[in-house]
Homo-oligomer: A and B are copies of this chain.
Amino acid sequence: MTSTTGHLFRATTYGESHGGGIGVVVDGCPSRLPLTKDEIQRDLDRRRPGQSSLTTQRQEADEVEILSGLFEGLTIGSPIAMLVKNSDARSQDYEHLRDVYRPSHADFTTEAKYGIRNWQGGGRASARETIGRVAAGAVARKLLGEAAEIIVLGWVSRIHNIEMPVHNIETPEMPAICLEDVEASPTRCPDPQSAARMETAIAAAREDGDSLGGIVTCVARGVPAGLGAPVFDKLDADLAKAMISLPAAKGFEVGSGFGGVAMTGRQHNDPFTAGAEGTPRAATNRSGGVQGGISNGEDLIVRVAFKPTATIASEQQTVTREGEAVTLEAKGRHDPCVVPRAVPLVEAMTCLVLADHLLRQQAVSLLQR
């Protein structure tokens, strides 16, 4: 359904960039999960613009309010409603966009679908919609940690043509990148040398009024074998949908991804070896932690490609609602690279998908206990 994701762990987001606020209702979270406002705010702060000179200077406090679902620090099984009020809305900034379709934005398609558009901002296509996803993802993250010791971590592995040296899918254990490594640079690239080059490239794009895309890699460690499903709701299929539902996402890979096409079956197959207590372990991880749509106990690894943002500080050719060709002037704030801020989004969506499948597995395994 349009504004709801998940089957058992469900998040319903609402809100546009202009209006009372942005929010989310998380339904289906098990009761008795310890949860604090700070745990939500922490993830929201990583999403927030204005964190460094690399991002847009739009200032948004984005303070979350928890309206329901908690009692004495624990979830009670009721919907957890969270709201972030809008503040920095300058609708006059958008006045010149009232009748014009910005290239590669959702302006035209929104009107084609709904016959109407709130031109005072991006509407539901606004990046602000992702606030609700991140808040819901923070709840899911907490559940994954408490119930299954699953840890989800993402980072920027590429900006434009600068790629982090190793995207290692050969070994079952990813190099031990941790949150501190990622947050050390505003680029969220954990390799310092690549990060420095990325910073330079982003600064140059800003100067030039241009924008850059990139790739976010995300890993989930500690995922038990058995999450997912064999047909339509494969674990990687749900992750693919979740990722491509993010603004500006154009590509998704799990494990070897497009690179796997260059291998033969003999090279690509992950041999099994006997792990501790006789558990089968994959000696390599070209599968990316998923086989036949179900987790195999190895690190879950996905990569998401983000196009360069459509908002640039340059003149562009476009048309008006009346079909008249016009030149769209460069105006307003401009974020040369949103990829670092996409990291918490990719993590949030990964957490939501995993939490949903963790709950679904409870039902499937009823008679196995």
Contact = CB atoms under 8 A, between A and B. Distances in A.
Given A76-B116, A76-B123, A108-B291, A318 B68 contact: no
A31 interface: yes
A322 interface: yes
A234 interface: yes
A105 B261 contact: no
A134 to B, nearest CB: 14
Closest 9 CB pairs of A and B: A106-B292, A278-B323, A211-B265, A241-B241, A20-B67, A109-B294, A112-B225, A14-B79, A31-B114
Interface string A265-291: 111111111110111101100111011
5 contacts: A109-B290, A113-B294, A237-B244, A250-B255, A251-B257
Max chain B Cβ within 10 angstroms of own Cβ: one of A68, A212, A234, A362: A68
Contacts of A141: none
A278 B322 contact: yes
B4 A296 contact: no
B244 A234 contact: yes
Contacts of A270: 103-104
A251 B250 contact: no
A323 B12 contact: no
Interface in A220-251: 224-234, 236-245, 247, 250-251
A118 to B, nearest CB: 4
A322 B274 CA distance: 9
B109 A274 contact: no
Contact of A231 (B2, B237, B239, B366): B2
Interface in A1-47: 1-5, 7-8, 10, 12-16, 19-23, 25, 27-28, 30-33
| Copies per assembly | 4
B30 A269 contact: no
A280 B103 CA distance: 10
A60 to B, nearest CB: 16
Contact of A265 (B25, B253, B277, B310): B310
B118 A228 contact: no
B232 A266 contact: no
Interface in A31-87: 31-33, 65-71, 74, 76-81, 83
A176 B188 CA distance: 43
Given A22-B68, A74-B116, 6 more contacts: A113-B365, A251-B252, A251-B254, A253-B258, A272-B319, A274-B324
Contacts of A230: 2, 78, 106, 110, 113, 123-125, 129
Contacts of A325: 273-274
B292 A32 contact: no
Contacts of A12: 4, 12, 25, 27, 79
